[in-house]
Amino acid sequence: MPRNDTQTPLLELRLPSPPRLGAVDDDGFADGDPIRKRWYHYLPLILAIAMMLAPHPSLIMIFVNYYYRVHDAPLRGLLHMAIVYLLTFLAFSSLIVVLARDPGPVVGDKAHGEESGERADGEEESFLEALLAPPEGEEAHGPGKWCKKCNAPKPERAHHCGSCGRCVLRMDHHCMWLGGRCIGHRTHASFVHFLFCITALAAYVAILCSSVVYWAFTHPLAIDETTPIHAISLAFYGMVIGMVIGSFLGYHIYLITTNQTTLESLSPFMLLRHIPPLPDNADSRRLSNPPLEHELSFEQRMLVRDAARYIRLYDIGWRRNWAQVFGWSRPWGWLYRLAIGGSCTGDGRNFPRNPRADEMLSRLAAGLVSADKNR
Q: Quick check: bond before 290 cis, omega within 30?
A: yes
H helices present in 54-116, as ranges: 56-62, 74-100
Of the listed ranges 55-59, 68-72, 242-246, the one predicted with least confidence: 68-72
The string of pLDDT tens digits covering residues 265-294 is 998 888 888 888 877 655 555 777 778 888
pLDDT number for residue 328: 75
Which residues contact residue 304 at a Cβ distance below 8 angstroms, ignoring those fewer than 6 apart? Answer: 268, 269, 271, 272, 296, 364, 368
pLDDT band at 200 (very low <50, low <70, confident <90, very high): very high
Q: What share of the chain is helix, strand, coil (3-state, %, to 5)?
A: 50, 5, 45
> Quick one: pLDDT band at residue 369, thresholds 50, 70, 90?
confident
Best mean pLDDT range from 176-185, 271-280, 335-344: 176-185
Across the chain, where does the E strand assignment appear?
A: 146-147, 152-153, 159-161, 166-168, 173-175, 181-183
Q: How many other CB atoms are found less than 10 A from the CB of residue 309?
A: 8
For residues 315-336, average pLDDT: 82
Lowest mean pLDDT among 50-54, 111-115, 156-160: 111-115
Residue type, 292: L
Q: Which of 244, 250, 241, 242 is nearest to 51 (CA)?
A: 241
Burial of 106 (0-12, 13-18, 19+ CB in 10 A): buried
For position 144, what pLDDT does the model report? 55
Tell me the helices (H) and strands (E) count for the chain, helix number first: 10, 6
Name the pLDDT band for 13 (thresholds 50, 70, 90): very low
Whole-model pTM: value is: 0.79
Q: What is the mean pLDDT of residues 136-160?
A: 71
Q: pLDDT tens digit string along 80-114?
A: 999 999 999 999 999 999 999 999 888 654 444 34
For the cut 60, the answer to whether the pLDDT of residue 124 exceeds it is no
Q: Please state, in angstroms and rounded to a whole number, the distance separating the CA atoms of residues 124 and 102.
A: 28
pLDDT band of 220, cuts 50, 70, 90: confident
Categorize the per-residue pLDDT at 240 as very low, low, confident or very high, splitting at 50, 70 and 90.
Answer: very high
Cα–Cα distance for residue pair 14/316, rounded to 1 Å: 51
- At 34 the pLDDT is 39
Chain mean pLDDT for the chain: 80
Tally of CB atoms within 10 A around 93: 16
Say what the pLDDT of residue 29 is. Answer: 41
3-state secondary structure of 285: coil
CA–CA gap between residue 146 and residue 136 (Å, rounded):
14
What percent of the chain clears pLDDT 90, i.e. is strictly above it? Answer: 40
Once rounded to an integer, what is the mean pLDDT over residues 166-188? 92
Q: What is the average pLDDT across 220-240?
A: 92
Closest to 135 in 3D by CA, of 163, 106, 167: 106
Contacts of 7 (CB under 8 A, 6+ apart): none
| Interval 32-44: pLDDT, tens | 343 677 888 889 9
Region 38-58 average pLDDT: 91
User: Are 348 and 169 in contact, with CB atoms under 8 Å apart?
Assistant: yes
On whether the CB atoms of residues 23 and 31 are closer than 8 A, the answer is yes
95 DSSP 8-state letter: H
In terms of DSSP H, where are the helices of 10-142?
43-53, 56-62, 74-100, 127-132
pLDDT for res 146 = 81
Whether 142 shows a pLDDT value over 90: the answer reads no
Using pLDDT thresholds of 50, 70 and 90, give the confidence band for residue 54. very high
Question: Looking at residue 157, what DSSP letter applies?
Answer: T
Q: Is the dihedral of CA 363, 352, 309, 164 positive or negative?
A: negative
Give dist(CA 356, CA 76) in Å, integer. 54
- Residue 32 neighbours by CB under 8 Å, 6+ apart: 19, 20, 22
Phi/psi at 181 (nearest 5 deg)?
A: -100, 155
171 contacts 104 by C-beta, under 8 angstroms: yes
Say yes or no to pLDDT of 175 above 90: yes
Question: What pLDDT shows up at residue 134?
Answer: 47
Q: Which residues contact 234 (CB under 8 A, 6 or more apart)?
A: 55, 58, 59, 62, 205, 206, 209
